[in-house]
Amino acid sequence: MSAQPDPVVGRLIEGRYRVEAIIARGGMSTVYRATDIRLDRTVALKVMQRSLAEDPGFVERFDREAKSAARLSHPNVVGVYDQGSYDGLVFLVMEYVPGHTLRDVLRVHGALEPLRALGVVDPVLRGLAAAHAAGFVHRDVKPENVLVTATGHIKVADFGLARAITASPSNAATRGVLIGTVAYLSPEQVETGQADGRSDVYGTGILLFELLTGAVPYRAETPLAVAYRHVHDQVPAPSSLQSGIPAYVDELVARATARRPEDRFGDTAEFLSTVTVARGRLAADPATSLAETADGERTANPVNGSTRQGSGPTVEPADRALVGAMAATGGGTGTAVLAGPGPADVRLDDHQGRPAEGEPPDPPSEQTPPAAPPARGKPPRPVRSSRSGGRYLTLLVVILIAALVGGGSWWVGSQRYIPMPNVVGKTIAAATPPLARQGLKITEANQAFSETAAKGVIISTDPATGDDARVGSTIDATVSKGPERYDVPDVRGSPIDRATTAVQDAKLTVAGTESAYDDTVPQGQVAATEPAIGSSLKRATAVTLLVSKGPAPVDVPELSGNNLDDAKAILADAGLTATIVEEYDESMDAGLAAGTKPSAGTTLKRGDAVELIVSKGPPPVDVPDVVGLSRSAAIDKLQAAGLDVQTTNRLPVVILDKVYSQTPGGGTSVPRGSTITLTLV
């Protein structure tokens, strides 16, 4: 039965990242190889697990931590290019690093020789030190997060993501994080969940232990038991599991993995300095203790990782610690941005202890005894020869040339070039003074959009940070134009084809059309867009055109019994206009709505007019003439006409009991129910 295809492979994320293949799959995320079609470059796309994406708190933290990581620029840190959410996917776009993880190296090779193990930790500490200087902690140092290219260059990945994930205790998926990384967690992370730079020192110390021995220090049946040992046990000496490890390397691991943070190295820079000294001693004399190298005989430079001494071997550069030690016969086409099944073709060479191919042999020892003196007696007379004199002259010339070349090379290499300072994140104006103090100039050579850098700040330099920069030269800087955004054009009232062209000209794409009612835009023309007209969007973002179906239908509301103002407001809310018509109504008091034309419930279009019938009250009646009639006859006749009756006497005594007069008089029109006053005699 064939496996189900991955639903993300083949998609175009945000109209920019074309997903091509799965690189690795982990418990929290899946990493894909993708192509940024805008910049035409290969990237690694890390898509977080959907259960995490459904946690709003995680998404907010993920965005914040990814933006922080994107500001970190260092040769030993995997670069972060972009982040976002798309169709339920929360993703991170990172530098694509062909190669393998350090876990692959350990899986295939096992323990490394001490010199190589320290050479691996060196660039890891450099990347961590840069992160700490930028103000955030990794929190999840482990072999899966250390990448090794086919040329041996080492990069640390996933800065800030551990914080985003572990801060989501409400999500069931995040509760597995401790299980996955408990072997490297510091005691304070286990006990309180808090971490600082010294926590990364501890994790790197555990990493060094594993590099030296091929195993982590603590193993148990449950993650909780492992966490307990981190809190209560001291990490054993690596030499207790692996022979050939000097005591001072044991001491280095012990200090890095001390249970109390205050007993560890104060920061990764101090750890790096001590690692550099230890590497120098291992290269010179593995039997010498670390304490003997700390008395001034050898000085460490934690900035570039080099050590200097009056004589002795040179320490191998940190990033070359695995050059020749790790080779992928598959050409390094794999990547290792996330832990996953490692390639089976990783190998380590066996030339430790002898010069690598192309390297000069070690110089002869300074302790070589001098040649034995000649025997006593008259020394033989030297034989002069013009031929031998020529040889001496030639030798002298060669020595002088070598000295001049060597001295010149030293002057050019040491005095005319300096490591390029890090000015990324500064403006040209802010970067100019510190560079000028080091004999460098800077100019804005290019501009580029950036999702993470504010407009006007430097996002890269040529030469790059840490590379050689010639004193007196001008540094080319690429300056941020800010996020690349384009406004949705105003296409309201345009035909679909013309609106489509306008959106595409604005460097956006058209996702399709949807129908929508609109009171003013004629049917068949574009009435609006989604996102709305004027929205500022990333390049190639999809825009939907909303095409008018004309005014929306609306039913005439029931208005009977409402006063005039209320009835008009109800009609306006329904999108209808009112025409007032007054009519008599037997059942409705004057001034109240008596109905509409057309009647309530009739379907009209928004904007149509409705006759609002307002009652003038009951219709009027003609007052009958009852003068001369008897009281009873007059009252009966008036009441039959719908009128009320009131009587009064003309004289103190009523004699005839007939109507003498009436008010109002006969023939007058009055509202039904009006009162007629009769005067009797």
CA angle, 574 then 577 then 581, to 5°: 120
What is the arithmetic mean of pLDDT over 415-430?
A: 88
pLDDT of 320 reads: 42
pLDDT of 82 reads: 87
Q: CB within 8 A of 501, min separation 6: which ones?
A: none
122: confidence class by pLDDT, cuts 50, 70, 90: very high
pLDDT of 315 reads: 37
For residue 43, list its beta bridge partners: 34, 95
24 versus 211: the higher-pLDDT residue is 211
From CA 444, how far away is CA 457, in angstroms rounded?
A: 10
For residue 462, list its beta bridge partners: 476
Helix, strand or coil, per DSSP, at residue 488: coil
Pairing of strands 577-583, 609-615: parallel
Q: To which residue do tokens 């590379």 refer?
A: 467
CATH number, domain 486-548, options 3.30.70.270, 3.40.50.620, 3.30.10.20, 3.20.20.70: 3.30.10.20
pLDDT of 415 reads: 45
Range list for CATH 3.30.10.20 in the chain? 417-480, 486-548, 553-615, 620-680
What is the arithmetic mean of pLDDT over 429-454?
A: 92
From CA 571, how far away is CA 566, in angstroms rounded?
A: 9
From CA 540, how far away is CA 14, in angstroms rounded?
A: 7
529: confidence class by pLDDT, cuts 50, 70, 90: very high
27 versus 306: the higher-pLDDT residue is 27
Encode pLDDT of 615-674 as tens digits. Answer: 988 888 899 999 999 999 999 999 998 899 999 988 887 788 899 999 999 889 888 888
The model's pTM is 0.47
User: Which range in 95-99, 315-319, 340-344 is most confidently predicted, on average pLDDT?
Assistant: 95-99
- Provide the CATH number for the domain formed by 100-339 in this structure: 1.10.510.10
Helix, strand or coil, per DSSP, at residue 402: helix
Encode pLDDT of 349-405 as tens digits. Answer: 333 333 333 333 333 333 333 333 333 344 434 434 444 445 545 545 444 544 444
Tokens coding 415: 């005095």
Q: Which CATH superfamily groups domain 12-95?
A: Phosphorylase Kinase; domain 1 (3.30.200.20)
From CA 494, how far away is CA 67, in angstroms rounded?
A: 39
What is the arithmetic mean of pLDDT over 328-350?
A: 33
Positive or negative, the Cα torsion across 510, 516, 518, 521?
A: positive
Encode pLDDT of 272-312 as tens digits. Answer: 999 999 999 998 865 544 444 433 333 333 333 333 333 33
User: Do 149 and 98 form a contact (C-beta atoms < 8 A)?
Assistant: yes
Please name the amino acid found at residue 311.
S
CATH second-level architecture of 620-680? 2-Layer Sandwich (3.30)
- Is pLDDT at 314 greater than 80 in this prediction? no
User: Do 519 and 527 form a contact (C-beta atoms < 8 A)?
Assistant: no
Phi, psi of 2 (to 5 degrees): -75, 150
CA angle, 206 then 212 then 218, to 5°: 40
- CA distances 503 to 17, 59, 648, Å, are 20, 30, 88
Q: To which residue do tokens 């610690």 refer?
A: 321
From CA 298, how far away is CA 293, in angstroms rounded?
A: 6
Encode pLDDT of 206-229 as tens digits. Answer: 999 999 999 999 988 888 889 989
Least confident of 64-68, 333-337, 636-640, 673-677: 333-337
pLDDT of 358 reads: 32
Rg (CA), the chain: 46
Tokens coding 88: 């339920």
Active site annotation includes 622: no
pLDDT of 18 reads: 95
Residue 445: CB atoms within 10 Å: 13
339 versus 581: the higher-pLDDT residue is 581
Range list for CATH 3.30.200.20 in the chain? 12-95
ω before 557 within 30° of 0 (cis)?
A: no
- Is pLDDT at 241 greater than 90 in this prediction? yes
Selection from 286, 309, 310 nearest residue 298 by Cα: 309
- Provide the CATH number for the domain formed by 553-615 in this structure: 3.30.10.20
Encode pLDDT of 74-116 as tens digits. Answer: 899 998 888 888 888 888 899 998 888 999 889 988 999 999 9
Range list for CATH 1.10.510.10 in the chain? 100-339
From CA 544, how far away is CA 311, in angstroms rounded?
A: 72
pLDDT of 586 reads: 78
Encode pLDDT of 444-477 as tens digits. Answer: 989 988 888 899 999 999 888 888 889 999 999 9
From CA 474, how far away is CA 439, in angstroms rounded?
A: 9
- Is pLDDT at 407 greater than 70 in this prediction? no
- Is pLDDT at 518 greater than 50 in this prediction? yes
For residue 114, list its beta bridge partners: none
pLDDT of 393 reads: 54
pLDDT of 336 reads: 35
pLDDT of 356 reads: 33
- CA distances 612 to 166, 575, 580, 595, 617, Å, are 65, 14, 5, 6, 15
From CA 379, how far away is CA 385, in angstroms rounded?
A: 18
pLDDT of 163 reads: 54
User: Do 120 and 57 form a contact (C-beta atoms < 8 A)?
Assistant: no
Tokens coding 631: 């009281």
Q: What is the CATH class of 417-480?
A: alpha beta
- Is pLDDT at 67 greater than 80 in this prediction? no
From CA 305, how far away is CA 208, in angstroms rounded?
A: 17
User: Do 362 and 313 form a contact (C-beta atoms < 8 A)?
Assistant: yes
From CA 362, how far away is CA 354, in angstroms rounded?
A: 9
Check 55, 82, 140, 250 and give the catalytic one: 140
Q: Long-range pairs for 342-349 at CB < 8 Å and ≥24 separation?
A: 342/100, 342/101, 342/103, 342/104, 342/107, 342/108, 343/100, 343/104, 344/108, 346/100, 346/104, 346/105, 346/107, 346/108, 346/109, 347/108, 347/109, 348/105, 348/108, 348/109, 348/112, 349/324, 349/325
481 versus 402: the higher-pLDDT residue is 481
Tokens coding 307: 């050590």
